[in-house]
Each structure stands twice: as C-alpha cells, then as structure tokens.
Amino acid sequence: MYRFLLLFSLFTLFVASSCEPDPPLPCEGCPVDPEDRVITGPSTPTPFTLEVPDHMPRPIVDETNPLTVEGIALGRRLFYDKIMGRDSAFACADCHLQEKAFTDGRALAVGVGGQPGTRSAMSIVNLAFNPTAFNWDGGQLKIWEQAIHPVENMLEMDEDWERVLVRLRRSEDYPQRFRAAFGVGRTGEITREMAVKAIAQFEHTIVSADSHFDRVVYLNSEFFTEEEQFGADSLFFIENVPIGADHPGCGHCHNAPSFGDNLFKNNGIEDVASLDDFPDKGFGVVSGSRSDNGKFRSTTLRNIALTGPYMHDGRFATLEEVLDHYASGGHAVENKDPNITGFTLTEEKKAALLAFLNSLTDESLLTDERYSNPFE
Ligand code: HEC
Ligand code: HEC
C-alpha cells in the first residue's frame, strides 16, 4: 500500500510539472493513453444561454456545439493554457490578448518559433453574431473547426494534436473537467473535437457591446461630443447620402451595431495588375472563383483603436493611414467594391472620424473576468 502511494505521488508530481519534456507520441496501434484511467466526478453539463444586450443581434446558436457552463469554463482554461502549444510553451492567448481586445499589437502574428505568419491576428469578439464564416478569408465555417488549425500551424503553435491529447489525458485536473463538460467516463475518450468545441464555447461568449457609442445611441446614458456627432452622422453612417456624394460611406460595410457585415470584399488596398496577382488571394481560394481573389472579410470595427496594425496583413500602422487609404479611393482593380470611391478628407473630417472610431472602444471587455486568464 505504502509503495503504491509513493508511486502515485511520483506520478502526480510528474504530471503536475509543466517543465517536463513532451511525452513521446504513442506507437502505432498502441492505446493513445496507456493508463486510460476511469474518471470520476460530475458528468452532467449545465446548459447555458448567452445573454446579450437588447441592441445587439440575437446570438447565432451552433446546434453542433451547445453551450454549457462546464464547457465554457473548460474552453477558457484551454484557451489560456500553454499546454496546447509546442513544448507546452504557447497558448491561443499569446496572440489573442484580452488587453488588446484579443489581438496582439503586431502587423503579422508571431508563433512559437518566432517567425511571422502571413496574416494579422484577429480580434475574437462578437463571433456569436457572425453569420458568414471565420478568418480573414472565410476559410472556416464553424468556430470550433477554426480552433483545430492554430495548434497545428507551424507558424502558430506548431504542435501535434495527438501530443496535446496525451498531455490533457494525463493531466491532473483536465480529465474531470472533460467529464463535467462532455460526460466522458475514461481518459482515453477525451478527443480533439471536445477540446476545440470547449474552446469555441468560450469564444462564443466573448461579447463586446459596452462602448461609449452604445451608451450614447442605445442606452441614452451619455452624449457624443460635437466632433463625435459630426463623425457619426455626417461621415461614417450613410443615411440620406445621395449616390455619388463626396462621402466616406464607411457604414456601407461597417454598419451598427456589428460594425462589420462580415461579407467578402476588395476594399482596394492592393495594387495589382490583374486578378491573378494578389499576393494573398483571400476569399478567392475559399470560393474557388477568380473574381473573389483579393477579397477579405469586412470585420468589426468595435475596439478598433486597440487592434492595430490594420487589415489582413497589418499593412497600416495607424487609423490615420487607414483613413488616408479610403480617402484616396484605393487601387483600381476590376473587383474593387463600388462603395470604395474616395472622398475629401480635411483635417477636421479626419479628426471627427477618428473621434468616432475611438467611441467604439469597450473598456469593460479588457478586464471582464469572464474572459480573463483563469490561471492568474
Ligand atoms: C501565432 C498567433 C496565433 C495563435 C497562437 C492563435 N491565433 Fe487565432 N488568429 C491568428 C491569426 C493570424 C488569425 C487570422 C487567420 C487567417 O485569417 O488566416 C487568427 C484568427 C482567429 C480566429 C478567427 C476570428 C474571426 O473573427 O474570424 C479565431 C476564432 C481564433 N484565431 C482563435 C484562436 C484559438 C482558439 C487559438 C488557440 C487554439 C488561436 N487562435 C491561436 C493568430 C493566432
Ligand atoms: C466596400 C466595403 C467597405 C467600406 C465602404 C469600408 N470598408 Fe473598411 N474594410 C472592408 C474590408 C473588406 C476590410 C478588410 C480588408 C482586408 O483586411 O484586406 C476592411 C477593413 C477595415 C479596417 C481594418 C480592420 C482590422 O481589424 O484590421 C478598418 C480600420 C476599416 N476597414 C475602417 C473603415 C472606415 C473608417 C471606412 C470609411 C472611411 C471603411 N472602413 C469603409 C470593407 C469596407
């Protein structure tokens, strides 16, 4: 008995230490987790309904991944846990930082190997309202399917899912958490699909709808400054703007309350001779249609002051540069969206548009404990 206890405590010591080298990959045909232990504890997840402010659209329900209290809690841990990356040294949260509205402040994301990737990390707020698809190019139809790829991507977390699963199954507390969220009875039943579904449940709950803009327009508890009002009514939104007017027209694609219609468009940032020359073909690769080359998702502008550098490749360092781009009318490529027309941008208009864009920052998101690192 004593010897068993000693062995057991050595085992827990081993699994508790995150600095241990990676466990080897299981041999072909061997059970993935040689221990395949029975898991005890609660196994009935509690259904969770996502409540969002009345002025936001209704959250989209993913029938393939119903939200539960335990699933969301598990997903939050996995999102912040470096156990998910190569050498247990990189987490989703290393590129999606809460204090930057879940982006990373870099033009191009940098993964565990230190090399930059090809695109800019996206803010993962308000995914529950996106009716189209995920990533800049719409390459992922479900949030949970999206989460499979960063773990495997060489330029992101560069890890093998089998190894991640071994670590999760052998860990001290994850098996109980998987049981609580998905009802599994043995460690060997824990799957990649459960892990990414839990992460997606957590991501689904990250809602940003408490900015100065929301408080002015929907809650009537604050007022716009004159400059913000001018930026909103006369420049950003498009109500009553005659066709062909000298007007920024941002609202065509970034309308309230989402501030991004999530459709795929060419907003004229790339100077190419033909539709075949885009360095990143974006939505064209996903749809398979040449006329979609160079189109990217018009994402949300909520918290935009915090999420620079801007565009799918982080080409603009500041919002001033973004405004200069739109004012120029962009590059004339045959599939450039007709709503990108160029407009006169005086210093006064620029300041007003910036003031308005700054009103979309939601400070409460940055410290909301429901979304913060559970290990701190
Ligand atoms: C190396 C940095 C990096 C890491 C690590 C990383 N991401 Fe990302 N994330 C990105 C980049 C870059 C994009 C844009 C990808 C694209 O368009 O191809 C992105 C996009 C996303 C999106 C799409 C958001 C939207 O609105 O479509 C989600 C969701 C997301 N990441 C979740 C995760 C999760 C979950 C993990 C961990 C399993 C993770 N990310 C790890 C950089 C990273
Ligand atoms: C025709 C639709 C359209 C219009 C009009 C439009 N945008 Fe965009 N916007 C997009 C698309 C598409 C993207 C993504 C492009 C990319 O990454 O390659 C984007 C991206 C952005 C980004 C970067 C988002 C990020 O997370 O990096 C900002 C900022 C932005 N737009 C602001 C504006 C402003 C301000 C206006 C008005 C002056 C405006 N947009 C008008 C379609 C549009």
Q: Going by CA atoms, what residue is nearest to atom 42 of ligand 1?
A: 121
- Asked if residue 15 has pLDDT above 90, the reply is no
pLDDT, the chain, mean: 92
Cα(348) to ligand 2 centroid in Å equals 21
* Candidate from 65, 98, 129, 135 with most ligand 1 atoms within 8 A of CB, to mutate: 135
pLDDT at residue 113, as a whole number:
94
pLDDT at residue 32, as a whole number:
53
Percent of the chain with pLDDT over 70: 91
pLDDT at residue 215, as a whole number:
98
Q: Going by CA atoms, what residue is nearest to atom 16 of ligand 1?
A: 135
pLDDT tens, position by position, 24-46: 555 554 445 567 899 999 999 99
Q: Kindly report which listed range (14-18, 51-55, 137-141, 213-217) carries the lowest average pLDDT score.
A: 14-18
Ligand with an atom nearest the CA of residue 314: 2
Ligand with an atom nearest the CA of residue 140: 1
Q: Going by CA atoms, what residue is nearest to atom 2 of ligand 2?
A: 253
Q: Categorize the per-residue pLDDT at 5 as very low, low, confident or very high, splitting at 50, 70 and 90.
A: very low
Cα(26) to ligand 2 centroid in Å equals 47
Q: Cβ(318) to ligand 2 under 6 A?
A: no
What number is the average pLDDT over the span 50-60? 97
pLDDT at residue 19, as a whole number:
42
25-58 in b/e form (b: 16+ CB < 10 A) is: eeeeeeeebeeeeebeeebebeebeeeeeeebee
- Asked if residue 11 has pLDDT above 70, the reply is no
215-235 in b/e form (b: 16+ CB < 10 A) is: ebbeeeeeebeebbbbbbeeb
pLDDT at residue 7, as a whole number:
40
pLDDT tens, position by position, 168-206: 999 999 999 999 999 999 999 999 999 999 999 999 999
Q: Going by CA atoms, what residue is nearest to atom 15 of ligand 1?
A: 135
pLDDT tens, position by position, 276-334: 999 999 999 999 999 999 999 999 999 999 999 999 999 999 999 999 999 999 999 99
Q: Specify the ligand 1 atom closest to the Cα of 124.
A: 24
Please choose, from the candidates 137, 102, 140, 149, the residue with its C-alpha nearest in 3D space to the C-alpha of residue 121.
102
Cα(261) to ligand 2 centroid in Å equals 10
Distance CA 194, CA 177 (A): 11
Percent of the chain with pLDDT over 90: 89
- Asked if residue 240 has pLDDT above 50, the reply is yes
* Candidate from 120, 145, 156, 283 with most ligand 1 atoms within 8 A of CB, to mutate: 156
What number is the average pLDDT over the span 103-108? 98
Cβ contacts of 53 within 8 Å, gap of 6 or more:
207, 209, 210, 214, 218
Distance CA 176, CA 45 (A): 12
Distance CA 359, CA 103 (A): 18
Ligand with an atom nearest the CA of residue 279: 2
Which residues form the pocket of ligand 1, taking CB atoms under 6 Å from any ligand atom? 79, 84, 90, 92, 94-96, 109, 111, 117, 119-122, 124, 127, 134-137, 143, 146-147, 150-151, 156-157, 199, 203
pLDDT tens, position by position, 322-367: 999 999 999 999 999 999 999 999 999 999 999 999 999 999 999 9
Cα(267) to ligand 2 centroid in Å equals 7
pLDDT at residue 243, as a whole number:
81
